[in-house]
Amino acid sequence: MKALFYSFFAFLTFVSCNPDKRKPEAANAKAEISRKVNQLYTLYGKAGKDIYSHPVPGDLFTSELNRMLDQSLEISKIDTERVKKSLHPEDKPLLLEGSVFTGLYEGFTAYHIQSIDVSESIPSVYTAKVKVEIENSAVSPKVQWTDTVLLTDGPDTEWKIDNINFDSIGSTSDLKTELRNFIDAAKAN
């Protein structure tokens, strides 16, 4: 009876001490991450005006990035109306210009996911760094660069884009900095 008890206790200990039952399987995680990155570039990648014609999907970005995007779009909407009603309706309102989600203002003509690196940042919170090779062959000479899309997956969430680190080709280091600068400039006016 003692042996049965110890065997049962050992079994329970083994089962309950599974380090992380939720840890994403590499293949499934990479497939979901690729889907999110493809969704980003399909919806918003090629031109800056695309951000105004598609609502920001709640399942694509983290709440912080979603809030910053919504705030930036609201600033543009309000300023566009303000300029229309002003004495100088031909003035240019505050707008997010260029390809907001890539490091090059002119946007891209093609992109390719180079690599996906998934790691556990804190227990049950995973991050992914996705290197995306991007090119714009519409300009001469053709331009190629690599941006890094950062995603996170917490215990109760799915993979969401948290930021994009831009290649040194652009004028801003990352998407959040670009949005903060835009919001701060609007507040200064």
pLDDT digits (tens, 9 = 90+) for 124-182: 889 999 999 999 999 899 999 999 999 999 877 899 999 999 999 878 899 999 999 99
Structural domains of the chain, count: 1
| Whole-structure pTM value | 0.82
> Tens digit of pLDDT for each residue in 45-57?
666 667 887 788 8
Q: What is the CATH number of the domain that holds 39?
A: 3.10.450
Residue 156 lies in a domain: yes
Using the predicted structure, report yes or no on whether residue 2 has a pLDDT greater than 70. Answer: no
Sign of torsion, CA 161 166 167 173?
negative
Strand order in the sheet with 110-122: 110-122, 125-136, 143-153, 160-165
Q: Is residue 37 in a domain? A: yes
Q: Is residue 15 part of a domain?
A: no
- Domain residue limits at 79: 24-184
Decide if 18 is inside a domain: no
Residue 155 lies in a domain: yes
